[in-house]
Structure 1
Amino acid sequence: MTDLLRWSTPDLALTFALDDGPVRLVAVRETGQPTGGEPDPSQPLVEVSAVGHGHSSNRQAGTVLGQQLRYVRHDETPNTLRIVQEEPATGLRVTSVFEARAGVRAWTEASITGPGSLELTFLSSLVVGLASIDAELHSAANSWMAENRWSKRLLRDVLADIVSDSHQHVARSRHAVTGTNSWSTGEQLPIGVLVDRRTPYALGWQIEHNGPWHYELGETRRGGYLLLSGPTDHEHQWSVDVTADKPFTTVPVSLVAGTDAGGVFAALTRQRRAIRNRRPADDRMPVIFNDYMNTLLGDPTTEKLLPLIDAAADVGADYFCIDAGWYAEGDWWNTVGAWQPSTTRFPNGLAEVINRIHRHRMVPGLWLEPEVIGVRSPIAGELPDDAFLTRHGKRVAENGRYLLDLRSPAARGHLDSTVDKLIDEFGIGFFKFDNNSMTGPGTDKGGTSLGHGLLEHNRALLDWLDGLQTRHPDLLIENCASGAMRMDYAMLSRLHLQSTSDQEHPLLYAPISAAAPAAVLPEQAGHWAYPISGTTREEFTFALVNGIPGRLYLSGHLNRMAPAELELIRSALAAHRVILDDLDTLVPAWPLGLPTWTDEWIALSLNSPGTSYLTLWHRAPGPSTITLPLSRASVDPLFPAADNDWTYTWTADGLSVTTTTPEPSARVLRLTRTGDRT
């Protein structure tokens, strides 16, 4: 006999099957959403493998130990559900934890009930049964200067169909998406949305880890499964010993549901806001000027910075960040680590530049790459080997850098003293924390597997960030890793801002900017706006528009610009601040669908109940018309405010937009529904 355990949050309802087999998650629905086809009731909630208890498959599903788990008990509090299972032969105990937020956050805890140990080689964070694989998967590739490239595909196109009758086997093929190394989003985003093609049902997820992760989808006899996890042995050289006194906890994942892809992306937005460790300082959403992109490019000096500081203050920037190179006497790449201001770049000291920022009542910021020490840095010889990631006792070196191990007190002490000194000496209120070096599979220091050493380091990094913000509650930190190569919600649940790309071409930045809210909150999406003096008005405007529907991250040689160009920047900042007033409540939507890399027209709408901010990009030369399926509203050009080259007409099909410019162009509109206009 099967009992059903139903657990609901204000947003999500989960149903579990409890009987003499393993616990199964048999339904995930929006609270109040009608049920449709139900998932395969045979798929275990937890999949787990161990040395001596493997299974012959590339899949992480179908594990022997997972099938042998048995329900023990469950415990409920107002916001948490814990389901305990045990495997009698090994004494393995696993607890599945579900935490109510805007969606559900979940993870798995493992230990041994008696003496001895078990070397785990895989443990899922969550496995969900699917009613069918007749579904469309939305997922995103992510790479340097080409971030947030969303696509959709049919699951049946990647999963072999070999089931012909009830006694034959189901295909063991899988669709696997895996993040490797310390760049959690270096190739793929740990996010997906699955849309059922038969019923109005969609499921969304994200894996919240700043290192390796894995998810896979596969077919079962009566449907399919979605499996979410952190590092694995098969994919990441990970294993860990668990005992009664040494438990292990997987990385957390988030789950949401809805009726379509748009509803699920909206639900993911609400979930990200719910899991964010927001501080009072995060209520400030300053406009930050950074001297790097299309400007100084890692070569700051007093002579170059002082006029830039004056110009940034004049257009209305709130913070001024000095980017890479401020510490370097020559090449900035392999000398990082000591973090002492260069005496040749700043003959009168860095304080002269910082004081100019303060005098303009801007907050000074510095670029820092805290996790690396250049092989030519004096600190490389002063810190012990224990401060670094090592393999077989040798320091891991990557392209002229050693990689700190944040489990080490020596490494932590070095970073704490570095950051505290810069804050105390210069009044630094903002850091751009970059990460341009990958670790490889990890470290075996202390006898761990490579993957588990990296997992422990990644968690120590998060702990270090938590401690830093506790000591300096007013400090704001940008998350950067060669742009968005570590754009995950382990990091972003803590940090203020995410650099969305290093892309230097405005036309190529447009799809990155437009698609970013599918992966990161609009109020955390730091989009570069780097207008170039001497370009046409439309080119200049296009570069500014890229930054407006998120967190405009200003750059460019403002001190060389004509008065009309500076006035256009001021106008863009004014429009941006209108959106900033509501940004942390707005929900993204894409009237033309999530953009692809080569789309001619791109549209992003940031919505509240009464008002929408619609950003439109046209990336081809010459006149063009597009119709967006939107509800009728009043249309106000927000940027540029005075515009005769774009026209807007409501038709029975929606908003018809026409551009007559002979070159690519972009606009930002405010749409106010009847009765809501202010």
Structure 2
Amino acid sequence: MPFVWRTANLTLTFCLDDGPVRWESVHWNPEASTGPVDQPLVEVSALGHGRSVSTHRHVGTVIGRRLRYTSHEATDTSLRILQQDAVTGLQITTFFEAADGVRAWTEARLTGPGSLELTSLSSVVVALDSVDFDLVSGDNDWMAESRWSVKPLREAGLPDIQRPPHHPPPRTRHAVTSRGSWSTGEHLPTGVLARDGYALGWQIEHNGPWHYEIGETPRGGYLLLSGPTDQEHQWTATITADRSFTTVPVSIVAAPDRDNAFAALTRQRRAIRRHRPADDLLPVIFNDYMNTLMGDPTTERLVPLIDAAAAVGAEYFCIDAGWYADGDWWSTVGAWQPSATRFPGGLGEVVERIRTRGMVPGLWLEPEVVGVDSPLAKDLPDDAFLSRRGVRVAENGRHLLDLRSAAARRHLDDTVDRLVAEYGIGFFKLDNNTMTGPGTDSDGQSVGQGLLEHQRALLDWLDEVQARHPGLLLENCGSGALRMDYAMLSRLHLQSTSDQQDPLLYATIAAAAPASVLPEQAGNWAYPQTGMSREEFTLCLVNGVLGRMYLSGHLDRMTPPELDLVRSALAAHRTVLPHLPDLVPFWPLGLPGWTDEWVALGLNGPSASYLAVWHRSAEPAQVDLQLPRGQLTSLFPAQPDGWTYNWQNDLLTITANTTEPSARVIELIGPIVADPDLTSGS
């Protein structure tokens, strides 16, 4: 029988009969009809209980097909569905929480004696009525983050092989997997399936390994969302009546089209974020790293930067990497004591300079590593580190702390508490530049389960730090954005969106970032340098205006006109900042391609929208944007300066009359009709 659960924004339809529970549809339209599907809500495999057909797919599991509906409990904001496998005594409970979308996860336990070794357990599986969708998905890399593409599922690897009279069941899949501790090291845990009139969006909320796959079934298709598995991540977990296992959570939304699906994901992220009063500050942060000191700070270099950052209006000043070492520091990190050589008068002298200039001091910290040449590598016990077969994991000159260890947690707590108490640090840039590999077996479990428990312990540690220091702001950085997920970002204030040093390449990263990150958390670097042409200087700053401008660059070397341009960009940014927590993204030219000539990002609000447009060619050109006509104002720079804007009904034609790459930010206020004569000369 069908069971319909309606939230404020979605309608979920399930089939509850004498078979396994099936999630038939999730729809933004409560009147949408659904058809019968054959895909169970939960797929589970265990040692001795695999799949009914040999395949790489995680559907068609024997236990998944044996599950039977037991009961459900529903309120306006939550749903719980129970199923049972009579053969193993396995009880499966799937939880749903309503927000703008729905958040879901699954728990497994035994109801009787014995144990069961799980090898995969889906968070949920959504049935699809067909595979006639375009997949919108993103790839990630260091300095090449947020590279999105759109591809029909048939072209993504789902061949059309169902033909009468045989109707063979498809065995292939489109699978996307992240391995190790960099949750976004290669791919993004977010996607959208879109076709005319309907889009299904999702994100997997885990700071470690995850997996999603899309495949075809005889009656349609499926979207499976999961944390680690044995096949992909060397993960197994033993459950008993007293030891349950809970999957990683996922969020799912539905909307009429792609951009509305990303807007719904944006609202969903706000709903699940553990918001603190300190997060309302939204300060402008200057960081000395990018294209500036690059991990080599000293008192002599910092003092003029501090003064210049304060003079343009920065509110926080972060001393980035290198403050804790006299020379090359990569393999010696871990103690986090300030260098006496870099700071002859002590780090406190520099921090006090920051404070007397009216800014809050911040420090870079990479808490989860200890260099192989650090004294702490000998001082901390073996159980403080991730290890395999009794040997500590060593990657890129570092050992990795196991946050399940009391000794490891005590070391990190002492470090943070000391720096806050001694120097009044109000901001930490938490970096993570070394990946764990598949995990740790130090507790006798599978390496995948060891890593999962460590990553969950990291989240607990972050929660405890913020409970002790409620005013402390924490940035999430992982070699740029290689750990850009909403397990971390549900807790942290800011996400560094890249380490990319070329402002032209950063344009696509900044424009695409809101597909993965809340605009109010998207820390986009703006690092202009003295001597740049005015257009290049402006483009550097445009990269940061529609997000959280992460200011850098040698402000201390700039001319007065250059500093005035920085102040103008900050003024434009501060125009947007109060509205940022209510804005949702849209892309009038589509999600940006890595080499696109024109790139555009819009942030839409109830009374005003903001649009950043980049032209990355050296020749004058024009582009048409389909937008509701509204009152248009040049936000940054304050004058169009070589760009023209002309409306024809709801078509905005933008012309860049520059002979080098350039960018602009405009404000659109509707429904007032814009002045058709707003051009570079008006």
Instruction: Name the TM tier (shorter chain).
Output: over 0.9
Query: For 1:207 and 1:49, how far apart are their aligned partners in 2?
Result: 20
Higher mean C-alpha deviation, range 182-191 or range 166-175: 166-175
Alignment of 1:20-35 (within 5 A): 20-30=18-28, 32-35=29-32
Match of 1:580 in 2: 577
Higher mean Cα deviation, 638-647 or 549-558?
A: 638-647
In structure 2, the residue matched to 1:89 is 87
Counterpart in 2 of 1:178?
A: 177
Letter in 2 for 1:59: R
- Please report how far the alpha carbon of residue 652 of structure 1 lies from its aligned counterpart in structure 2 after TM superposition: 3.5
1:261 aligns with 2:254: no
1:228 partnered with 2:225: yes
Residue in 2 that maps onto 1:120: 118
**Residue 679 (structure 2) aligns with:** none
TM-score, L = length of structure 1: 0.98
Q: Partner residue of 2:163?
A: 164
Residue 316 of structure 1, aligned match among 313, 317, 322 = 313
TM-superposed deviation, 1:378: 1.2
Is 1:503 aligned to residue 508 of structure 2? no
Query: What SS does the aligned partner of 1:15 have?
Result: strand
Task: State the distance in 2 between where 1:70 and 1:367 align.
Answer: 51
1:149, CA displacement in angstroms? 0.5
**In the alignment, what sits opposite 2:565?**
568
Tell me, yes or no, if structure 1 residue 297 matches structure 2 residue 306.
Answer: no
Q: Specify the alignment match of 1:288 in structure 2.
A: 285
Aligned partners of 2:631 and 2:672 also within 8 Å: no
Distance 1:469 1:244 in 2: 34
Q: TM-score, normalised by structure 2?
A: 0.97
Instruction: Spell out, residue by residue over 1:297-337, the C-alpha distance to the aligned partner (whole angstroms, 9 max, x if none).
Output: 00000000001000000000000000000001111211110
Report the secondary structure of 1:324's partner residue: coil
Q: Deviations over 1:576-618 (max 9, x none)?
A: 0000010010011001111000110111111112211110100
Q: Give the partner amino acid of 2:180.
A: N
The structural deviation recorded for 1:273 is: 0.5
Counterpart for residue 9 of structure 1: 7
Partner AA of 2:198 in structure 1: Y
Deviation at 1:676, TM superposition (A): 10
Partner residue, 1:189:
188
Output one character per residue of 1:598-644: Cα deviation in whole Å (capped at 9) or x when no partner.
11011111111221111010000121111110111111101000233
Match of 1:329, SS? coil
Which residue of the partner structure matches residue 462 of structure 2?
465
Question: Which residue in 2 is equivalent to 1:671?
Answer: 668
The equivalent residue for 1:60 is 58
Instruction: Provide the C-alpha distance between the structure 1 equivalents of 2:428 and 2:458, rounded to a whole number of angstroms.
Output: 16
Partners of 1:526 and 1:547 within 8 A in 2: yes
Q: CA deviation at 1:33?
A: 4.2
Query: SS of the counterpart of 1:592?
Result: coil
Q: CA deviation at 1:163?
A: 1.0
- State the Cα deviation string for residues 243-300 of structure 1 (Å, max 9, x = none): 0000000000000001111111111011000000000000000000000000000000
* Structural mapping, 1:470-489, within 5 Å: 470-489=467-486
Question: Which SS does the other structure have where 2:176 is aligned?
Answer: strand
How do 1:535-614 residues align onto structure 2 when only pairs under 5 Å count? 535-614=532-611
Match in the other structure for 2:323: 326
Give 1:44's match in structure 2, choosing from 40, 47, 50: 40
Q: Is the 8 A contact 1:132 1:196 kept in 2?
A: no
Aligned to 2:202: 205
Q: CA–CA distance in 2 between the matches of 1:236 and 1:444?
A: 13
Structure 2 CA distance for aligned equivalents of residues 644 and 400 of structure 1: 50
Q: How much does 1:658 deviate?
A: 0.8
Q: Is the 8 A contact 1:324 1:332 kept in 2?
A: no
Conservation of the 8 A alpha-carbon contact between 2:630 and 2:672: no
Identity of aligned residues (%): 66
Cα-to-partner distance string for 1:36-73 (whole Å, 9 max, x where unaligned): 5x365210000000000012210001101000000111
Are 1:78 and 2:82 an aligned pair?
A: no
Give the whole-Å Cα distance in 1 for the aligned partners of 2:655 and 2:373. Answer: 56
Partner AA of 1:42 in structure 2: D
Are the aligned partners of 1:40 and 1:220 in contact in 2 as well (CA < 8 Å)?
A: no
**Would the aligned equivalents of 2:528 and 2:537 in 1 still touch at CA under 8 Å?**
yes
Please tell me whether residue 631 in structure 1 is matched to residue 628 in structure 2: yes
| Residue equivalent to 1:99 | 97
Match of 1:110 among 80, 104, 108: 108
What are the residue-to-residue correspondences of 1:309-388 with 2, within 5 Å?
309-388=306-385
2:145 alignment partner, SS class: strand
Q: Which letter maps to 1:584?
A: P
Secondary structure in structure 1 of the residue aligned to 2:188 = coil
Give 3-state SS (helix, strand or coil) of 1:304's partner: helix
Map of 1:415 onto structure 2: 412
- After the TM superposition, which parts of structure 1 deviate over 3 Å for at least 4 consecutive aligned residues? 674-677
Q: Which residue of 2 aligns with 1:131?
A: 129
User: Structure 2 matches for 1:446-457, cutoff 5 A?
Assistant: 446-457=443-454
Preserved contact between residue 39 and residue 222 of structure 1 (Cα < 8 Å): no
CA-to-aligned-CA distance 1:215-236 (integer Å, 9 cap, x gap)? 0000000100000000000000
Please state whether the residue corresponding to 2:171 is helix, strand or coil.
coil
Quote how far apart the aligned CAs of 1:397 are.
Answer: 0.6
Give the Cα–Cα distance (whole angstroms) in 2 for the partners of residues 86 and 416 of structure 1. Answer: 43
Distance 1:210 1:465 in 2: 13
For residues 643 and 19 of structure 1, the distance between their equivalents in structure 2, rounded to whole angstroms, comes to 63
Following the alignment from structure 2 to structure 1, what is the Cα–Cα distance between the partners of residues 558 and 258? 43
Matched, 1:396 2:393: yes
Inter-partner Cα distance in structure 1 for 2:50 and 2:672 = 63
Q: CA deviation at 1:11?
A: 0.8
Provide the C-alpha distance between the structure 2 equivalents of 1:201 and 1:566, rounded to a whole number of angstroms.
Answer: 47
Q: CA separation in 2, counterparts of 1:313 and 1:24?
A: 58
C-alpha deviations, 1:178-212, integer Å up to 9, x for none? Answer: 11110000000001100135xx1110000000000
Q: Which moved more, 1:637-646 or 1:314-323?
A: 637-646
Name the Cα RMSD after superposition: 1.1
Mapped partners of 2:648, 2:31: distance in 1: 34
Please give the per-residue CA displacement for 1:67-115, whole angstroms capped at 9, x wherever unaligned: 0000111112332111000000100000000011110000000000000
